[in-house]
């Protein structure tokens, strides 16, 4: 699922920073992943869609498939695939518009089910989460029993299926949840971790995308076992920051805790346009719309951030980002608007059509409740620029 990709990418920094930690005592981690989530919800709610190849999203001119039903996957339709490609692979493919509010409410129900078995829930996206069930607060006896209970609850109450991976750390649990998908469980016990990982293709490790995989391949590294055969020094030379992580992960080690309090690192939004935008005026108008969307999110999270990033993808798919950081952080919509507009203005006039615009606020600080300023520090009023009295 598309939305699942983002947390993985963001997580690399925390993987690297956590990898120096000392091993905790043996934990029990479950990774729960809904099966073809958006598509399954649609098929659940509309019997006419059941048993048919279905794609959520992607019907618009430049739409991308957000999720594909298993029937569609047989034809090679995948998430993140352009709608036109999907249609070519499977001419009878049905497209439905995503209903994100429905998915969000199902996600809340899902969270309620998880909460019956543990408090340590780290959501990765609407349909995916890590659970730390070491404490077994529900007295189920084993992590496998908990995983089965959760899957049963999901089936009975939500009429959806989920797959689960059960293991002693997040990395293996996540890979394991894919093993018997859909509607399956896979368990990797502490003694089996190293062998399980050794058999994995290198691509399944975090941070190993197509490019890195290709580089690994030229170095003769294809599997977890191949990674494990390398020295830390060698990995550092070739893969830089990921080396520590690869070294540990290839031995089945991953000490990252399940963090229920996961802090958001950024808030943003973007839009792909059906027609390329060419005119400065159209770009400005489009930016205002994105400002509306993103500011609404920032406002809802009551977040303060220091960096505004503008992302522009041109018609030829060249993508650029331009960022500006300010101190003190962006507090008002006017500030956010001003910075966003300045970033765009600097790119105008655009040399070629623009297919996507996005804005992100990052460098987030914990929001400060009114009146909670440090004692003794008096907040200075912001300067006021006087205006000419026409």
CB 90, CB 72: distance < 8 Å? yes
Among 128, 157, 275, 281, the active-site one is: 128
Cross-strand bridge partners of residue 364 = 305
Interaction of residue 328 with other proteins, rule CB under 8 A: yes
Q: Is 381 exposed, middle or buried (0-12, 13-18, 19+ CB in 10 A)?
A: exposed
Distance of alpha carbon 284 from alpha carbon 383, whole angstroms: 28
Q: Which helix (H) or strand (E) holds 133?
A: none
Rule CB under 8 A: choose which of 139, 351, 371, 376 binds other proteins.
351
- Min CB(324)–other proteins separation in Å: 10
| Geometric angle at alpha carbon 3, from 183 and 210, rounded to 5° | 90
Is residue 350 close enough to count as binding other proteins by CB under 8 A?
yes
**304 is a site residue for other proteins (CB under 8 A):** no
Q: How many CB atoms lie under 10 A from the CB of residue 50?
A: 13
Q: What whole-number distance in Å separates Cα of residue 279 and Cα of residue 284?
A: 9
- What gap in Å lies between CA 174 and CA 256, rounded to an integer? 13
Binding of residue 137 to other proteins (CB under 8 A): no
- Spatial strand order of the sheet with 354-365 comes to 266-277, 354-365, 304-314, 319-330
CB of 270 to other proteins, least distance (A): 21
Number of residues lying near other proteins (CB under 8 A):
23
Q: Is 353 in the site for other proteins (CB under 8 A)?
A: yes
Active-site residue, 128 included: yes
Least separation in angstroms between residue 152's CB and other proteins is 55
Tokens 């300045």 appear where? 342
Residue 390 contacts other proteins per CB under 8 A: yes
Q: Which of 345, 367, 368, 373 is close enough to bind other proteins by CB under 8 A?
A: 345
Residue among 88 and 284 whose Cβ is closer to other proteins: 284
Binding mask 279-298 for other proteins (x = CB under 8 A): xx---x--------------
When asked if residue 385 is in the footprint of other proteins (CB under 8 A), the reply is yes
Contacting positions for other proteins (CB under 8 A):
278-280, 284, 326-328, 335, 341, 345, 349-351, 353, 382-390
Please list the active-site residues. Answer: 128
């Amino acid at each position: 699922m598309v939305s699942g990709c983002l947390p993985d990418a963001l997580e690399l920094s925390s993987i690297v920073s956590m990898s120096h930690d000392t091993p905790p005592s043996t934990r029990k981690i479950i990774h729960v992943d809904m099966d073809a989530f958006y598509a399954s919800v649609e098929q659940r709610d509309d019997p006419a869609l059941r048993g048919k190849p279905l794609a959520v999203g992607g019907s618009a001119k430049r739409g991308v498939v957000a999720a594909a039903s298993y029937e569609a996957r047989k034809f090679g339709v995948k998430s993140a695939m352009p709608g036109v490609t999907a249609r070519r692979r499977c001419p009878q493919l049905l497209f439905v518009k995503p209903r994100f509010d429905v998915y969000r409410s199902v996600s809340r129900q899902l969270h309620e089910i998880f909460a019956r078995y543990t408090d340590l829930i780290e959501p990765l996206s609407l349909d995916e989460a890590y659970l730390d069930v070491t404490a077994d607060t529900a007295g189920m006896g084993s992590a496998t029993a908990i995983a089965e209970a959760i899957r049963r609850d999901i089936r009975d109450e939500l009429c959806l299926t989920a797959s689960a991976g059960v293991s002693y750390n997040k990395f293996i649990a996540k890979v394991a949840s894919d093993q018997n998908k859909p509607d399956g469980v896979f368990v990797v016990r502490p003694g089996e971790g190293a062998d399980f990982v050794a058999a994995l293709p290198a691509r399944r490790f975090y941070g190993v995308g197509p490019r890195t995989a290709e580089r690994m391949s030229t170095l003769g590294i294809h599997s977890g076992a191949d990674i494990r055969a390398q020295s830390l020094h060698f990995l550092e030379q070739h893969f830089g920051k990921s080396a520590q992580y690869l070294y540990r992960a290839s031995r089945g080690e991953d000490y990252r805790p399940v963090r229920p309090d996961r802090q958001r690192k950024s808030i943003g939004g973007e839009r792909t346009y059906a027609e390329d935008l060419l005119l400065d005026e159209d770009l400005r108008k489009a930016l205002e719309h994105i400002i509306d969307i993103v500011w609404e999110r920032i406002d809802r999270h009551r977040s303060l951030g220091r960096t505004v990033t503008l992302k522009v993808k041109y018609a030829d798919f060249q993508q650029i980002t331009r960022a500006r950081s300010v101190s003190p952080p962006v507090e008002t919509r006017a500030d956010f608007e001003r910075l966003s507009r300045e970033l765009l203005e600097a790119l105008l006039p655009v040399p070629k059509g623009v297919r996507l615009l996005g804005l992100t606020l990052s460098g987030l600080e914990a929001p400060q409740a009114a009146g909670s300023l440090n004692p003794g520090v008096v907040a200075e009023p912001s300067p006021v620029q006087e205006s000419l009295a026409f």
